[in-house]
């Protein structure tokens, strides 16, 4: 898989993409993640990428031309399954979307910045607009990092224990059951006996019940 990220602040993506599971997934060749600075595609000597909005609103708008040049130059190299724009007005990102994106070959993520992006780019280039929640971030870089992280960890063998991505919260529209590790008794609190029983059928049943109970209590909206 290949993920190209277009941004005006590439520095914001260095550490989220360069550590831990994402770092290892790239080292193993499971994914190639390339961050591009939109300013490199300006013809303007001040490398300006934003301008005042027509109609006199507050804030600045990302200009169409440098963004179009950046997208065109990437599209000249390969075809993209999705050209994503991160924006609070997009569809809400979730595990289903992460699963779907993880099956694609090449995706491009354009990070929104300033007040927003010239609508003509949204109309002509963007195939999907994604929000990571109903709040406004300074820019789309953290959203791009969140989306990328949620996708890359699903790639086969990105996570050491093959099973663990499948048993994540949300993978079956349920929250994950509680987890415990040693010691079996800590400050007077014991791990549920069933987990120490060695009876794996019972343990599976207990985990399912706990997942359902937790989801009903904390996220009833997930249970259709």
Can you give the binding site for ligand ADE, defined by CB under 6 A?
Answer: 86-88, 112, 131-133, 135-137, 140, 143
- Please state the φ and ψ torsions of residue 92, each to the nearest 5 degrees: -70, 125
* Strand bridging mode 50-51 / 82-92: unpaired
Residues, the chain, total?
Answer: 224
Angle at 157 between CA 156 and CA 159, to 5 degrees: 115
Tell me how far, at minimum, the Cβ of 88 lies from ligand ADE, in Å.
Answer: 4
Whether the CB-CB separation of 224 and 175 falls below 8 Å is answered with no
Ramachandran class of 216: left when φ > 0, alpha when ψ lies in -120 to 50, beta otherwise: alpha
Is the CB of 66 or the CB of 140 nearer to ligand ADE? 140
Residue in the shown chain whose Cβ atom is closest to ligand ADE: 143
Whether the CB-CB separation of 84 and 147 falls below 8 Å is answered with yes
Tell me how far, at minimum, the Cβ of 146 lies from ligand ADE, in Å.
Answer: 8
Tell me how far, at minimum, the Cβ of 1 lies from ligand ADE, in Å.
Answer: 21
Tell me how far, at minimum, the Cβ of 92 lies from ligand ADE, in Å.
Answer: 9
**CA 86 to chain centroid:** 10
Angle at 42 between CA 82 and CA 117, to 5 degrees: 50
Tell me how far, at minimum, the Cβ of 123 lies from ligand ADE, in Å.
Answer: 18
Is the CB of 12 or the CB of 175 nearer to ligand ADE? 12
How many other C-beta atoms can be found within 10 angstroms of the C-beta atom of residue 30?
15
Tell me how far, at minimum, the Cβ of 59 lies from ligand ADE, in Å.
Answer: 12
SS3 of 2, please? strand
Tell me how far, at minimum, the Cβ of 86 lies from ligand ADE, in Å.
Answer: 4
Is the CB of 61 or the CB of 159 nearer to ligand ADE? 61
How many angstroms separate the CA atoms of 172 and 181, rounded?
A: 24
SS3 of 116, please? strand
């Amino acid at each position: 898989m290949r993920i190209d990220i277009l941004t005006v602040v590439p520095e914001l993506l260095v550490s989220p993409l360069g550590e831990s599971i994402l770092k290892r997934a790239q080292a193993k060749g499971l994914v190639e993640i390339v961050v591009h600075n939109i300013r490199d595609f300006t013809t303007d000597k001040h490398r300006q990428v934003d301008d005042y909005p027509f109609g006199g609103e507050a804030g600045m708008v990302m200009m169409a031309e440098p963004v179009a040049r950046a997208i065109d130059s990437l599209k000249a190299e390969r075809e993209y399954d999705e050209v994503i724009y991160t924006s609070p007005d997009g569809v809400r990102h979730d595990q289903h979307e992460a699963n779907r994106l993880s099956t694609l070959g090449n995706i491009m993520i354009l990070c929104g910045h300033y007040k927003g992006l010239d609508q003509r780019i949204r109309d002509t280039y963007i195939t999907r607009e994604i929000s990571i929640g109903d709040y406004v971030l300074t820019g789309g870089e953290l959203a791009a990092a969140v989306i990328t992280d949620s996708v890359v960890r699903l790639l086969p063998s990105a996570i050491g224990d093959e099973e663990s991505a499948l048993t994540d919260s949300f993978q079956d529209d349920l929250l994950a059951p509680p987890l415990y590790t040693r010691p079996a008794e800590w400050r007077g609190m014991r791990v549920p006996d069933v987990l120490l029983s060695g009876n794996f059928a019972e343990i599976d049943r207990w985990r399912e019940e706990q997942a359902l109970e937790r989801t009903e209590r904390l996220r009833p909206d997930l249970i259709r």
